[in-house]
Amino acid sequence: MVSRLSPPCEALRKQGYQFFAPDSSAAVKPCLWCKKALKGGEMCYKHQFYGIESHRCVQMTPTLRCNHRCLFCWRSFEHEHPSERDCPPEEILARIPALQKRALSGYKVSPSVTGERFSQALDPRHVAISLSGEPTLYPYLPELIDLLTARGFTTFLVSNGTSPWILKKCRPFQLYVSLPAPDHASYLKICRPLDDFWENIRESLALLEDRRSAVRITLVEGLNTFMPERYAQLLQDSGARYVEVKGYMYLGYSRKRLNREHMPEHHRVKSFAAAIGERCDYCITDENPASRVVLLERVP
Ligand code: SF4
């Protein structure tokens, strides 16, 4: 008999998560920007920064498991299923179009969705492995990414950096490592990790040189909006091509842990990004106030 996922996963299903199988937490969930773009509206900052078309982007995760309990995470921490099955990469690849179609089918009847855009959305070109959970805890991640690449998808992999030995084997189009804090003590306070992974994160950051890569910093007002010089040093050592400094958004389950005042205004995000940039070889090249995100690029 197939064991079913726990009731919290049922709650996620109601929020629009499409699970690949009843006994797996691998899931797809189109983001707000995908739906906006489908209706001919604005696309997300990844279109502005990197040319990704939002309505042709699949936001997914191969697992909802995570070894962090970040205060700013939008997921709940109660939905992990100890006996969940890891879907094989071939199963994930095969089911992506059907799940994306199911998730978007309600939009077909909208007068602002053209037939052409809807067909394009059902033929996605990009996979963002970034929905929720830590993808390196899925045992077949390198194989999944290689399979997606072989099928012509571009891939963004977003990791919390706790498993550098897995990241070494992954070849996504663009690799992200999150840097949640400027120092060890703040990391423990903000991410509440199941083990102390700070040195692993530093090791993962060091893997970013000489490849298409980005560091993601989520700024939570008062919790990690200090010591720009420490961030600068970590970025300088990483050699990543891009840095995204993004304001925390008061969304999902994070509202149970934080409050609205933890969301920095865009001008705060920008001035903090500038303060980091002044202290290392990165400079601001773009920004998107709607998403409260600032892009820095490494100066050659
Ligand atoms: S690492 Fe990501 S998925 Fe895990 S708790 Fe933190 S924000 Fe959530």
* Lowest-confidence segment of 3-17, 84-98, 155-169 by average pLDDT: 3-17
Residue 123 included in any domain: yes
Regarding the beta carbon of 69 and ligand 1, being less than 6 Å apart is answered yes
Question: Domain span at residue 198?
Answer: 7-216
Q: How many Å apart are CA 56 and CA 170, to the nearest integer?
A: 23
Regarding the beta carbon of 287 and ligand 1, being less than 6 Å apart is answered no
Residue 250 included in any domain: no
Give the distance (Å) from ligand 1 centre to CA of residue 196. 15
Residue 279 included in any domain: no
Residue 143 included in any domain: yes
Hey, what are 201's tokens? 């994160």
Residue 1 included in any domain: no
Taking the model in full, what pTM does it have? 0.93
Regarding the beta carbon of 95 and ligand 1, being less than 6 Å apart is answered no
Q: What is the pLDDT at residue 134? A: 96
pLDDT tens for 197-228 read 999 999 999 999 999 999 999 999 999 999 99
CA dihedral (89, 163, 156, 72) positive or negative: positive
Sheet holding 282-288, edge to edge: 18-19, 27-28, 57-61, 126-129, 154-159, 174-178, 213-219, 242-247, 293-298, 282-288
Q: Which of 198, 166, 201 has its CA nearest to residue 184?
A: 198
Regarding the beta carbon of 73 and ligand 1, being less than 6 Å apart is answered yes
Regarding the beta carbon of 117 and ligand 1, being less than 6 Å apart is answered no
Q: Which of 168, 174, 137, 186 has its CA nearest to residue 57?
A: 174
Overall domain count for the chain: 1
Residue 79 amino acid letter: H
Asked whether the predicted pLDDT for residue 8 surpasses 70, the reply is no
Which of 25, 67, 70, 79 for mutating ligand 1's site (highest number of atoms within 8 Å of CB)? 70
CA distances from 145 to 117, 150, 155, 168, 205 (A): 26, 9, 7, 13, 20
pLDDT tens for 47-56 read 899 988 888 8
Residue 223 amino acid letter: L
DSSP 3-state of 297: strand
Regarding the beta carbon of 79 and ligand 1, being less than 6 Å apart is answered no
CATH number, domain of 96, equals 3.20.20.70
Using the 8-state DSSP alphabet, how is residue 162 labeled? S
Residue 113 included in any domain: yes
